[in-house]
A and B are shown apart, each in its own frame.
Chain A
Amino acid sequence: MAESATPIVEIKGVSKVFQLQDQTIHALSGANLSINKGEFICLIGASGCGKSTLLRIMAGFDQPSSGEALMWGRPIAGPDPSRGMVFQDYALFPWLSVRANIGFGPAARGLGAAEVKAIVDKFIDLVGLAKFANAYPHQLSGGMKQRVAIARVLANDAELVLMDEPFGALDAMTRERLQDELLDIWERTKLTVVFVTHAVEEAILLANRVVVMTPGPGRIESDNALDLVRPRDVASPEFNAIRRVLSAKLHSHHGKKAA
């Protein structure tokens, strides 16, 4: 139980400054966040609030300008298979079949063909794509592509799954379906998920904790633990009460900006 005392991810006073031509952009300013193993965190906010920047720092794609980002107490120095990213535009390898995309990580780790096959079979079933094992990404719908992207991260034994508006490009029906499947996978595997979205409803449906971020400069406005029972009903009064509170927090920066 000593391990569970250490958060899986700690963000300590992280700021990120970009230089864009002659402009300095404060993408993220003094962010503090601590994530425990098994949590489902949603980062929510308008564009420019730094939610994607924070996610990319957790992934190791970007380094903080100041402050530190830690995983199990050690600085995040670069991308690592223990932290899997699911991109909004899938970023599947178009030249690989569904099967080979999912097996990419295990093969890169140097596992033998038989082991890779066993892993791929398991996760291809988990996301329900067995019939499309030999299809190429361009033959799949958006929802199916995103299932491959999720399976590819899980097949690589990621402890932390980082999702950057993964369902943003999907139609409403497919999105709901994938949200359910994601929750199902999360409950069964006890993964830790950090999920970026700009949809309040999606955040309340999925998360244990909703972290509201506001832009200009990007910062964490509030960290809201949700204790709604699952499965959650988007039409329930409790759900709507939370939605009202979070929407208000989300728009709280408007007044400040005008001043």
Chain B
Amino acid sequence: MAIVETGSVAAAAPAAATPRAATRTTWARFKPTVLALIVPLLLLAFWQVATTQQWTRLIPTPYAVGEYMIDFAVGGIYDDAYSATLTTHLLASMSRVYGGFALAALFALPIGILIGRVPSARMLLDPFLQVMRPIPVTAWLPLSMILFGLGAKSAFALVCLGAFYPILLNTIFGVRSVDPKLFEAASMLGCRGNAQFYKVVLPAATPSIFTGLRLGLGLAWFVIVVGEMTGVPQGLGAVIMDGRTLSRTELVICGMIVIGLAGYLSDRVVVALGNYLLRWSPNHHG
């Protein structure tokens, strides 16, 4: 006979009938959006005040940036060298972000699993990687340009480097911190040796690995500007560097906003994917 103790999911309370309750549910629905918009709107207001009061003359007004953003996206206002080039630059940056990220995952996952599971691999690689890790991607820029030349290859290498460590560290952590009881449970159920790697270690490590991939992808967006300081003609980072040399601050701000939004959307997709794949995990909902 089935016995339901406490775990059964109770049916949702009947839909509220009173107007007060209805207001409360409407508020509950929009609360996250409203709260999320408060800080950006305050910042925008501050920006507006600061520029119209001329506290600074070097930063354009929000309106000017907004207007330029439209021109950057679809053209038709200023018709300069950057009009209607947003898609080109965004796609160029995306290819480097995702390419560099994929390359990082390709290296970091197997190396992380190796370091996490094989003590001699850990002794061989861990100290070296711990020394390399604090060196910022910016510091690698000159060497990268010597090793990989000016252009896209260097950009890939730098983005890859930026995404590498979070994936590596979280993979190591994930495969090392498997509950020892699960190995005992698997072996008493007849799953031994190498089979335990696929049936226990990998699935148990997926939440950590996933966190590493998410952080890695975020960092890939984070380092894209440095990555595109390598003399590539296209890309959001290249646009920002051009804006800087041409003293076109509105171009710089447009590039920043696009990177922020693209990074955010890409993270949302990853989180949605994670919520689905890791729906078994009680503490993994982004």
Contact = CB atoms under 8 A, between A and B. Distances in A.
B213 to A, nearest CB: 17
Interface in A83-107: 83-85, 87, 89, 91-97, 104-105
B3 A79 contact: no
Nearest to A80: B188
Interface stretch (B121-129, B149-157, B179-187, B224-232): B179-187
Nearest to B204: A95
A128 B3 contact: yes
A78 B184 contact: no
A139 interface: yes
Contacts of B280: 94-97, 136-138
Contacts of B192: 79
B191 A108 contact: yes
Given A95-B203, A143-B5, A79 B187 contact: yes
Contact of B179 (A91, A136, A139): A91
A138 B204 CA distance: 14
B4, B185, B203, B280: residue with the most chain A Cβ atoms closer than 10 Å: B185
B9 to A, nearest CB: 8
B5 to A, nearest CB: 4
A91 B182 CA distance: 6
A78 B187 contact: yes
Interface magnitude class on chain A: 35 or more
The main secondary structure of chain A at its interface with chain B is loop
A91 B181 contact: yes
Contacts of A135: 7
B6 A141 contact: yes
Contacts of A96: 203, 280
B190 A81 contact: yes
Contact of B282 (A129, A138, A156): A138
A84 B188 contact: yes
Interface string B166-206: 00000000000001011011111111100100011001101
B188 A83 contact: yes
A86 to B, nearest CB: 10
Interface string A120-140: 000000001111100111111
B37 interface: no
A171 B151 CA distance: 66
Interface string A38-82: 000000000000000000000111000000000000000011110
Contacts of A61: 184, 188
Contacts of B1: 128
A178 to B, nearest CB: 9
B5 A174 contact: yes
Interface in B1-16: 1-7, 9
A183 to B, nearest CB: 15
B281 interface: yes
A257 interface: no
Contacts of B244: none
A153 B188 CA distance: 9
B133 interface: no
B190 A141 contact: no
A152 interface: yes
B2 A130 contact: yes
A79 B184 contact: yes
A5 to B, nearest CB: 27
A93 B3 contact: no
A160 to B, nearest CB: 11
Given A93-B203, A129-B2, A85 B282 contact: no
B268 interface: no
A89 B181 contact: yes
Given A95-B281, A96-B280, A136-B280, A81 B204 contact: no
Nearest to A155: B189
A85 B190 contact: no
A59 B188 contact: yes
Nearest to B179: A91
B181 A108 contact: no
* Closest 4 A/B residue pairs (Cβ): A105-B189, A138-B282, A108-B191, A91-B181
16 contacts: A61-B188, A81-B190, A87-B185, A93-B203, A94-B204, A95-B204, A96-B280, A104-B191, A108-B189, A108-B199, A136-B279, A138-B280, A138-B282, A139-B7, A153-B188, A174-B5
Given A95-B206, A108-B191, 10 more contacts: A59-B188, A61-B184, A81-B190, A91-B182, A93-B200, A95-B203, A95-B281, A104-B191, A136-B279, A141-B5
Interface of A: 59-61, 78-81, 83-85, 87, 89, 91-97, 104-105, 108-109, 128-132, 135-141, 143-144, 152-153, 156, 174, 177
